[in-house]
Structure formats: C-alpha cells, structure tokens
Amino acid sequence: MKSSKYILFIALLGISFGCSLTRNLEENQYVLYENKLEGVEKADEEALYNLLDQEPNTRFLGTSLGVSIYRLGNKFYDSLEIAEKLSEYKKEKQELEAGLESDPKNNKLEKREEKVNSKIEGLEKKLQYGNALMRTGNPVTLLDSSLTQKSSTNLEAYLVNHGFFEAKVDYEVKVKNQKATVIYQINEKEPYRIDSLQYRPSSDEVEALLQANRGKTFLNKGNIYVQDDIIKERNRIEEVLKNNGYFMFSKSYINYVVYKDTAKKIVNVERIILDPTFAENHQAYTIDSITFRINAPSNQFTDQRVQRNYDGIDFSFYRDRYSEKVLSSRILLREGTTYSRTNAIETQRLLSNLDLFRFVNITFDTLGTKLRADIITQPNQKYQLTNQAGLTITEQLPGPFFSTALRNRNFFRAGEILEFNFRAGLEGVASATGQGVYQSSEVNAGFAVIFPRFLIPFAPFTLEKFGKYNPNTRTQFGYNYTNRPEYTRNSVNGKLSYNWQTRDSRQIFIFNLADISYVRTPRIQDEFGEILLQLQQEGNNLIWSFLPSFVSSISGQTIINFNKYGDFNTKKASLLKLFVESGGTSLNFFDVSSNDEPGIEFANFQWLKTQVDFRRYYPVNKKQTFAYRFNFGWAMPYGVSAGILPYEKYFFAGGGTSIRAWQARRLGPGSSIPQTGEGGEYDYTNEQPAEMILESMLEYRRNLFGYFDMALFIDAGNSWMIGVDSARPGADFRWDRFYKEIAVGAGIGLRMDFDFLVIRLDLATKAVDPSKPEGERWVFDNVSFRSPFGRRGQTVLNFGIGYPF
C-alpha cells in the first residue's frame, strides 16, 4: 500500500535525525523513558501527571529530535572557553567604567561599554543555558531518585488537598537496557465529602449581603472536599464585600474550620469572619470626593495649571488641553456612592484605553468611613511613530512587507487620535492563467481620526450615557493599490464606524454606518481578459467584478471572547464572530441601471451577507491542546447586481487558513470540476468564487521541544453558489446532495512559536475530493511518494505566519 511508503519515510527521517537516548550513559545512569500512574479512579489523572517533577523526552519512533539537536550543539560547546571570555569582558568593563569616571563625555568609551555589556549578557546566557542549538533542543532526562521521591510526595499532597485524606502513594522503578519506567502506585481510598456548612455570624449587614450572593458559592453540600475551593470561596467573599463598600475588608479576616469524621468519610465546614482590630465591626465606605490630576511631564509647566470641577470631580490639568467631559465619562466612581473595587479597576482600564496617558494610578485616603479618590496620570507622548518589517502571506509564498504608522494624540484636545498609515508588501501568488507563481505587490495608505465618543447628531447625552462601554467613532479614508500578474487594481475607500464593548471586555461591537469604495481595474492581462470573456459566454459574469464600480455597504459585527481566546494559556477558551452586511442599500431609492443591460461600463451592486465564525481552544495539559473552528458564510446578490457580487465580497475555500489540502481559493464550488490540463489532470488554475461557504477544522497541537510544535489536523468543508451556475455544473447548493460534496483533507504541521512570532508549515493531502464522480471521491490512496507536490495537486504545502485559527 502507498501508505507504507509514508511509514518508511517517517521511520528513515526519525533514524536520520534521532539517536539512541541511552548513548554514552555511565553504568549507573538511566534514561527516564516513561511515567505511569496506577490506581487513579476518581482523581484528576491529568492534574496528577502535571505534578511529576521529571518528564520524559518527547520521542518519535524511539528517538528524540530535541535530544539530537542538544547533543549536536554540545559538540561545539566549551564552557571553560566561554568562562574565560566572560572574565576578559568583565575586566574590560571595569577598565571602561574607570575611564568614564575620569572622562564621562567620551562617546567612544560609551559605545564600547554598550558593546561589552551586550557581550557579557550573551556569554552569561550561553554559560547558563548553552549555545543556540542547545537552547533549541533539550538534554536527555536522566532518572533522579530524589525527584522521583519528591513527585511521590507531590501526588500524595495533591490527593489530600482534594478530599482523599487517607490516600497513599508508592512508586516502583523498572529498568531495561538503561531505560527506566517509573510506576506510581496510588491508593486513593474513599474521598471525603462536605456534609454540612455552618456560618459563624458576623455583622447583620455583612451576613445579609453574603446570603444574597450565596448562589455563586464554590462550597456545596455533597461535593468532594477540595482545598482549592476554600481558597476560591475566600476570594469570592472578599470580592463581594469590596464591591459593596467594604474598602478595608480582606480575605485575611475569613477563616475556615474543617471537622473530619473518619468513620463516615465526611467533613463539616465552618466559616468564621473575624472582626477588625481597628473597629467593632466591618463597615461600608462611601466616596466623599474625587480628584483627577494630570501631572506635567516636567517641572517646566508647573505654573500653567488649570483647575476645573465637572460632575463632582475636581480636575487639575497642567495645561488647558483636555476635555473634562470625556474624562468624566470614563470615571465610574461618583461622589456619595458606595465604594466598589470593580468600578475602580474599570475606571483605570477605561482611562488607559484612551491611549492618552503613560500610566493611570488610583489611590484612596480614608477619614472615618469616607474615602477620597485620587486619580493621578501623566500625558503620553504627543506623537508616536511605529515601523514594522517582516514577512506576510495570504496565498502561496511569503514576501516582505514594511509598514509605518504615525499617531497624533489628543488632536482636537478632546481625546481624539489622528493616525496616518502606510504599508507596502510583496507576495507570491498563483497566476489565474496557469503560469505558476508570480509576484504580487500591494500598497496601502490612509489616515483616520478616532473620537472617544459616539458622534451622533441630535444626541447630546451619549457621552455620559455610554462612556462606561468605551465607545469610539472612527472616520477613515484610504487608498489601496494591487498589482498582480493578471490585473492592476486600485480603490479609494472611506468609512464611518462606531465601536464599543461590554464592561467585562468580553464582547466587542462594531457598526459600520458607511463603508464606501470606488474600485477601478485599469489593467487586465489579455489572457486573463479572455478567460473572463469565456466565462461570461458560459453564463458566469465574473467580468463585471472588474468593471469600474462604486461599492457601499452598512454592516455590523460582534466578537464574543470567552475566557480570553488567543492567549492560548492553560484554560479553555472560545471565540464567536457574528457579521451581517447590507450592500448598495441606498440604490433601492434611486433609478439605477442593472448590470445585465447591454453596453454596461460601470457596475453597481446590491447584496446581503452574513457570516458566523466559531473557534474553540481546549488544552489537555501544558503541552497538548485541541483547537476547533467552524465557519459559515452566506451572501446573496439582488436588484441591480444581476446575480453578481463585488469581487471582494465572494467567499473562497482552500488555503492556509481554510481547507489546507487545496490551493488557496481553488476548492469548489460544490462538485464542479476544475480546469483540466494535459492527461485530464486538474491544474486548479482559476480562483473559485462562491456565495456560500461551510468549513470546519480540527487540530491537535503538541509541543515537541523548545519553541518547536507539531500539529495533526483534519479539515472539512466546501463552497457553493446559491443559484444555478451554468458555467460550473454542480456548483449550486442543493439540500439533497451538499453533504456528499464536503471536501476532506488531513495533514501534519510544524510550527516555530517564538511568542512574538509563529512560523507555520502545514503539509496536507486530500482525502475526499467532491469534484470526482460519486463513488470515486475517496482519494487518500492516491498519494504519490515519488511526487508529493506533483501536478495532480494531491498534496499541498502551506507556509503561514501565525496560527491558522
């Protein structure tokens, strides 16, 4: 079978890169080959594995690439030589410091000192962690009996803290060929459960408040006793009281006494709230006054201070350059109200989001049960220039880009930000005329003004009403130039949009009141033009998307971020994007020529579009995660569009962030057959625009070593036209067959995650190809080891920057 070729290839690859883990070991040294847990029934097995102090090296076919890389680096590593160099540079540093003491303005000595400090820092890092290869790989993990004993102690402590009070942990080490397997034998015994909860009364006010919020407690009768739940409950009670005025309260006043019944395997939990030492009982505090102070960047402006009072807040500016109305709308603290820690934190966040200040500090002074809130800030720099250079990719091959952005803060003295942006880049894209991969260049330039409020006519109180939702109005104007092998396209666009978010920042709303573009395609390659004309004769009017056009739309989008998706930490997280758009809506009120009228030279478009994008991230442990994405989109042209969408509004399937076993934008639609070349093989020359897309991706990600990760993935989906497409039979969506037209691809990926940059290589192969006749769509067996990237397009290599989702 052809799959055996892949197994042989992988085996040879492992042998070539790997080597025996036990090589060059001394007589009493053993490689930690495997950890095993036995006897785990009710406890969290994954959490127990994470407590082990020694972890075996990641292996593939018995070898470890990380260890091989480390050993290779170790061959070129001489710690004595590095230590000698470090000593020499430290001596030189002392001489330079002495020279600068006598001649502090000597630029030559200063520059040399900077170089010497850099050398010292690099050598210290190399001496501690090894050279670059050693830091990329990892050393072989040798069995350490002291760490094995410590791991056993950790396991037992964890079980006791999670209700298994009588648990015992032993371990056994089995050795074969200098490979050690450590077996931890766990005897959980019966877990103890909470039988009753008792509350020693505090003040009546505190008890009434806690009783009203008891529904969110972490301690419930019948649950297995968990020490962490006690910690969570203490934090919850502290949060409840601090958000209801109890400024001086802290969790140190909360004690829990646990009474254990060994016969019944139950515990009784009593909560005690201690009285404060400075008063008879805990008291709620109210805010008596609020001051907001913007400090001058230097003492130069101390004599130019402006004092104002607005909405009960005393403002003090070093110059008359700020709007107290805008700042007040971001301050959730109010004179005469009960103290709330959440409001204080939210105030700090909202003021920071204005991007006007270097820092925002909030302090409170007490007098009896009164609080004076002092908000102290310092202006951020007026102008900020940001330059970026790197690699980008959207279709085939990566290319360089350069971007620059200039920000002018507080442009109209009411918190506005003026932005100028410029970006230029090159990429490799597949030619639509079948002439391989060509260079594509793109230039973007524009400016925007961001107002920290809603600009809505005849609505004067929006600032005060919606300030807590961090609103802003964005107006922007831009120019885009694209030069591809087939055409040159440029556009001028303008946008007016409103943005806001919920107070917990988990949901963002974007409403584009006006998104207007004028698009021209001044150059169309003759061969590409012939393709467009041929498609038009076959009933596909894609050519209209390349006519001069005026495109306008109204759209809305919300992004719901559950548990900070994108941080990719150790918590479950998900993200949901919902998008709706109405294009050319204003054309309903005018008499405009339809695109299907003879001799049309200027295209108009009307359409409706919606999209749902759901992503979920599920960590198994610190090294392994699952990620899933579901994406559905639908767009329908109507009215003067005559069945045609603007080119940018079509959906395209295939590529590095879609179904990866197909080239970018080349999958589908439906069961239509791509263009064929010599021998009747598919050559996937033309992009395949569609009006509907349905796709899902499942990915298993695992850290190999250092910043190298691997991934296994399965992608499934396709795109369709809503109506009949005479140019592409089988392209239309039909309920009775769409499930038979789901394309499936699978593959393996290698990622280099440098925290600030993720470089991705995904090798994908087709498993189910809907363009084949029914009964012949399973094509996984067609993989050719001799020509994995051959003309049949069975296997596709995707290069990307960042994660696919």
Q: What is the CATH number of the domain that holds 224?
A: 3.10.20.310
Q: What is the pLDDT of residue 4?
A: 42
Same domain for 146 and 218, yes or no, is: no
Distance CA(602)–CA(385), nearest Å, equals 40
Residue 689 above 90 pLDDT?
Answer: no
Q: Are residues 168 and 295 in the same domain?
A: no
When pLDDT is averaged across residues 719-731 and rounded to a whole number, the result is: 83
- Locate tokens 């998706």: which residue? 565
Q: Which amino acid, residue 547?
A: L
| 407 found inside a domain | no
For 742-776, b where at least 16 C-beta lie within 10 A, e where not — what string? bbbbbbebebebeeeebbbebbbbbbbbbbbeeee
Q: How far apart are CA 14 and CA 7, in angstroms?
A: 11
Q: According to the per-residue pLDDT averaged within each range, which of 100-104, 185-189, 499-503 is highest?
A: 185-189
Q: In this structure, are 102 and 238 located in the same domain?
A: no
User: How deeply is 610 buried, as exposed, middle or buried, from its count of CB atoms within 10 A (0-12, 13-18, 19+)?
Assistant: middle
Domain boundary among the residues 360, 379, 398 is at 379
**Is residue 175 domain-shared with residue 60, that is, in the same domain?**
yes
Residues 19 and 149 in one domain: yes
At 85 the three-state DSSP class reads helix
Return the higher-pLDDT residue of 428 and 634. 634
pLDDT at 724 over 80: no
List, for residues 299-338, the tens digit of each pLDDT value: 655 566 788 999 999 999 887 788 999 999 999 999 999 9
Q: What digits encode the pLDDT tens for the residues 735-768? A: 999 999 999 999 999 888 877 778 888 999 999 9
Residues contacting 379, CB < 8 A, separation 6+: 294, 297, 356, 357, 358, 410
On whether residue 626 sits in a domain, the answer given is: no
Mean pLDDT in residue range 687-712? 88
- Model confidence at 784, pLDDT cuts 50, 70, 90, reads low
The rounded distance, in Å, linking the Cα atoms of 324 and 467 is 13
- Asked, for residue 640, whether it belongs to a domain, the answer is no
Which of 210, 240, 273 terminates a domain? The answer is 273
For residue 520, pLDDT beyond 80 = yes
Predicted confidence at residue 16, as pLDDT, reads: 41
Query: Which of 59-63, 142-146, 597-601, 644-648 is predicted most confidently?
Result: 142-146
Looking at the structure of the chain, the number of domains it has is 5
Provide the mean pLDDT of the chain. Answer: 86
Predicted model pTM: 0.78
Closest CA to 285 of 370, 372, 384: 370
- Reference 578, options 608, 609, 553, 612; nearest CA is 612
H-helix segments, 619-748 = none
* The pLDDT value given to residue 494: 95
pLDDT value of residue 438 = 67
On whether both 176 and 45 belong to a single domain, the answer is yes
Helix (H), strand (E) at residue 13: helix 2-17
| pLDDT band per the 50, 70, 90 thresholds, residue 429 | low
Which residues are within 8 A (CB) of 375 and not within 5 positions of it... i.e. 6 or more apart?
290, 291, 292, 293, 331, 347, 351, 360, 361, 362
Single out the residue in 215, 238, 273 at which a domain terminates: 273
Helix (H, G, I), strand (E, B) or coil at 175: strand
- Looking at the structure, tell me whether residues 182 and 211 fall in a common domain: no
Residues 6 or more apart from 721 whose CB is under 8 A from it? 669, 670, 690, 691, 692, 728, 731, 732, 733
Q: How far apart are CA 187 and CA 176, in angstroms?
A: 26
Please return the burial class of 55, using the count of CB atoms within 10 Å of its CB with bins 0-12, 13-18 and 19+: middle
Residue owning tokens 């091959």: 397
Contact yes or no for 562/575 (Cβ under 8 A) = yes
Q: Which long-range contacts (CB under 8 A, 24 or more apart) does 799-802 make?
A: 799/393, 799/397, 799/398, 799/656, 799/760, 799/761, 800/393, 800/656, 800/657, 800/759, 800/760, 800/761, 800/762, 801/390, 801/391, 801/392, 801/393, 801/398, 801/757, 801/758, 801/759, 801/760, 802/758, 802/760
DSSP string of 722-763? SS--TTSTT-B--TTTGGGG-EEEEEEEEEEE-SS-EEEEEE
Query: Cα dist. 717→257, 739, 773 in Å?
Result: 56, 9, 17
Residue 242 shares a structural domain with residue 344? no
Q: 664 or 163: whose pLDDT is higher?
A: 163
Looking at the DSSP bridge assignments, the partners of residue 608 are 582, 636
Token match 């018995």: residue?
Answer: 62
User: What is the per-residue pLDDT for 200?
Assistant: 84
| Per-residue pLDDT tens over the stretch 279-297 | 888 999 999 999 999 988 7
On whether residue 67 sits in a domain, the answer given is yes
CA distances from 338 to 207, 273, 281, 286 (A): 18, 21, 17, 4
Q: What is the pLDDT of residues 366-391, one digit of tens each?
A: 998 999 999 999 999 899 999 888 77
In the predicted model, what is the mean pLDDT of residues 758-785?
Answer: 85
Judgement on whether residues 83 and 62 belong to the same structural domain of the protein: no
- CA dist 725 and 744 (Å) reads 23
Answer whether residue 620 is part of any domain: no
Q: Please indicate, yes or no, if residue 670 is contained in any of the structural domains.
A: yes
The pLDDT value given to residue 10 = 44
pLDDT at position 3 is 43
SS3 328: helix
Domain that holds residue 201: 193-273
- Residue 655 structure tokens: 């590529």
> What confidence tens digit (pLDDT) does each residue in 555-604 have?
999 999 887 776 666 578 899 999 999 998 877 777 777 767 776 778 88
What's the confidence (pLDDT) of residue 264?
A: 93
- State yes or no: pLDDT of 15 exceeds 50: no
Q: Is the pLDDT of residue 227 over 90?
A: yes
Determine, yes or no, domain membership for 579: no
Give burial (CB, 10 Å; 0-12/13-18/19+) of 658. Answer: buried
87 in any annotated domain: yes
Identify the CA nearest to 477 among candidates 455, 494, 454, 459.
494
For residues 204-215, average pLDDT: 89
Count of beta carbons in the 10 Å neighbourhood of residue 324: 19
| Statement to judge: residues 691 and 787 lie in one domain | yes
DSSP secondary structure string, 489-546? EEEEEEEEEEEEE-TTSSEEEEEEEEEEEEEEEEEE-HHHHHHHHHHHHTT--GGGGG
So what's the pLDDT on residue 503?
A: 80
Task: Please state, in angstroms and rounded to a whole number, the distance separating the CA atoms of residues 770 and 654.
Answer: 13
- Residue 541's pLDDT band (cuts 50, 70, 90): low
Task: Please report, rounded to a whole number, the percentage of residues in the chain having pLDDT higher than 70.
Answer: 90
Is the pLDDT at 477 greater than 70? The verdict is yes
Q: Are residues 239 and 167 in the same domain?
A: no
| Rg (the chain; Cα; Å) | 33
Q: Which of 31, 85, 28, 20 is nearest to 56 (CA)?
A: 31
Ramachandran sector of residue 775 (left: φ over 0; alpha: ψ -120 to 50; beta: rest): left
Same domain, 213 and 355: no
Between residues 132 and 433, the one the model is more confident about: 132
pLDDT at 1 over 50: no
